[in-house]
Amino acid sequence: MKMASIPFGTTDWSQVEPTEHKGDAGLAIWRTRQFGDIRVRLVQYSPGYVADHWCVKGHILFCVEGELHTETKDGRIFVLTAGMSYQVGDDCEPHRSSTVDGAKLFIVD
């Protein structure tokens, strides 16, 4: 990833318009900024959230609050708590996320 032509700036995430995305269960609230090909999001998963798809997009994901369970298509499960992160490349390993009690994530993809 090359981060070109992005001038220095700050983001007050409370001022970024939220969008709702339903999962198989629960809801994800995204606050999204787009910088060329780079998408930066602050995402809040409701308690009981389960993703409705296997994701193949690459991400760098940081768990800000709560606990996130991420399953890879081959059956492995990774648990992130506040202060942990994961990274995965585009089309590398299909994955999907869920949370029991909710989670807040900072994602760059």
What are 28-55's pLDDT values in tens digits? 999 999 999 999 999 999 999 999 999 9
Question: Residue 33: inside a domain, yes or no?
Answer: yes
Question: Residue 6: inside a domain, yes or no?
Answer: no
Structural domain that includes position 62: 19-108
**CA separation for the pair 48, 66 (Å, rounded):** 12
DSSP β-bridge partners for residue 24: none
How many domains is the chain partitioned into structurally? 1
**CA separation for the pair 103, 47 (Å, rounded):** 8
Unique residue bearing structure tokens 């506040």 = 82
Which pTM was predicted? 0.93
Question: Residue 4: inside a domain, yes or no?
Answer: no
**CA separation for the pair 94, 89 (Å, rounded):** 10
